[in-house]
């Protein structure tokens, strides 16, 4: 998606501290961390957010979810918090679906 900052990170057009990548997701450190460990997990397929999902997206969202423990392991988190902001009022600022993966000291993003 043109002009999407997370698509640009996925396509390596802008740099990010990537901690995990496979065919489905990319995970990288948040530029403005709200916990000691704060990583964003992003599906490679662009979706605006939870509200934009259709039934057909079940597989792609499932793949996003099942990759969370592998990313957590990569950044040495045994227990962790996960947040998805949906919509401006909820604090969503980047309109490419993403999971915030945070250590337990983190504020809810
Ligand atoms: P949201 O507010 O949409 O739930 O989360 C977006 C997150 O993306 C924020 O925590 C913000 O700090 C992070 N972010 C925004 N732009 C960039 C960027 O260019 N690189 C990285 N690594 N994180 C970003
Ligand atoms: Zn995107």
Residue nearest (by alpha carbon) to ligand 1 atom 24: 31
When pLDDT is cut at 50, 70 and 90, the band that residue 108 belongs to is low
Identify the pLDDT of residue 33: 96
For residue 6 and ligand 1, the question of a CB distance below 6 A is answered with no
Please give the CATH number for the structural domain made up of 5-102.
3.30.428.10
> Considering Cα of 92, then 94, then 97, then 101, what sign does the dihedral take?
negative
Does the beta carbon of 93 lie inside 6 Å of ligand 1?
Answer: yes
pLDDT at 109 over 60: no
**Domain parsing of the chain, residue ranges:** 5-102
- pLDDT digits over 49-91, tens only? 999 999 999 999 999 999 999 999 999 999 999 999 999 999 9
Q: What percent of the chain has pLDDT over 90?
A: 94
Starting from the CA of residue 14, give the closest ligand: 1
Give the pLDDT confidence score for residue 1 in this predicted structure. 80
């Amino acid at each position: 998606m043109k002009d999407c900052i997370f698509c640009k990170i996925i396509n390596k057009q802008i740099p990010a501290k990537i901690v995990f990548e496979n065919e489905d997701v990319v995970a990288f450190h948040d530029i403005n961390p709200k916990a000691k460990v704060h990583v964003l997990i992003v599906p490679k397929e662009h979706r605006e957010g939870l509200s934009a999902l259709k039934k057909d997206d079940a597989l792609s969202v499932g793949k996003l979810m099942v990759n969370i423990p592998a990313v957590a392991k990569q950044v040495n988190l045994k227990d962790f918090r996960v947040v998805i902001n949906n919509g401006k009022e909820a604090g969503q600022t980047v309109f490419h679906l993403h999971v915030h993966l945070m250590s337990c000291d983190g504020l809810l993003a």
